[in-house]
């Protein structure tokens, strides 16, 4: 069950990177394998690094939040999920990143799509005892979906990128509810 939850979290977190990869793939005139791999490496690495930073921050404040950690996890996942859903509906949203071949643009996109993973890192101790395995799985899922997203974007463009973020937001909200219910029931 723990592995399944980590995979679902990884899928939820990867949706931003997947959507950006689709948009970027549509923007490449001649998408080459190196473009897709470079984007996937950047997105996957940042999605793996950011939860570690969040987890380290949570470990520092563990004693202060231990009594309400499930509420903190629920709140964080709810806010991130709602934010992802809201951003999917934003009208002024950029439909195509500036130049995803530019390393500065790619770095900015990788950081922007992994901020959610930083917050989720705070909740990882509620899901697993092995944060290392969790972040590796999250990074690999993001790598795979980002690579795939580039090719999907090249083939069919922006037909469904916003729907992907809505699904990701719903997944994160559902995990937050699951954590809250599990900890509330076991506390009684």
- Chain-centre distance of CA 71, in angstroms? 20
Give 100's DSSP letter: T
Which residue, chain included where needed, has tokens 């979290």? 9
Q: What is the pTM of this model?
A: 0.71
pLDDT in tens, 127-172: 788 889 999 999 999 999 999 998 888 887 656 656 767 876 787 7
Gap between the Cα atoms of 84 and 86, Å rounded: 5
Domain ranges of the chain: 2-187
Return the pLDDT at 148.
Answer: 94
Cβ-based neighbour number of residue 67 at 10 Å: 9
Gap between the Cα atoms of 143 and 41, Å rounded: 6
CATH fit for domain 2-187, picks 3.30.70, 1.10.150, 2.60.40, 1.20.1250 = 1.20.1250
pLDDT in tens, 82-111: 887 887 777 544 444 456 667 887 888 888
* Mean pLDDT along residues 61-67: 71
Gap between the Cα atoms of 131 and 125, Å rounded: 7
């Amino acid at each position: 069950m723990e592995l399944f939850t980590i995979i679902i979290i990884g899928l939820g977190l990867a949706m931003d990177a997947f959507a950006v990869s689709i948009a970027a793939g549509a923007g490449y005139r001649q998408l080459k394998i190196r473009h897709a791999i470079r984007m996937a490496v950047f997105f996957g690495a940042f999605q793996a690094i950011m939860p570690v930073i969040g987890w380290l921050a949570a470990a520092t404040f563990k004693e202060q939040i231990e009594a309400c950690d499930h509420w903190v996890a629920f709140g964080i996942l709810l806010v991130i999920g709602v934010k992802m859903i809201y951003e999917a509906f934003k009208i002024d949203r950029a439909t195509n990143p500036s130049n995803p071949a530019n390393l500065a643009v790619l770095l900015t996109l990788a950081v922007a799509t992994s901020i959610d993973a930083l917050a989720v890192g705070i909740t990882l101790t509620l899901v697993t005892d092995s944060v290392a395995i969790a972040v590796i799985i999250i990074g690999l899922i993001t790598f795979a979906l980002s690579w795939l997203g580039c090719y999907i974007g090249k083939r069919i463009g922006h037909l469904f990128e916003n729907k992907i973020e809505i699904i990701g937001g719903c997944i994160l909200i559902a995990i937050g509810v699951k954590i809250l219910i599990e900890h509330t029931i076991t506390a009684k």
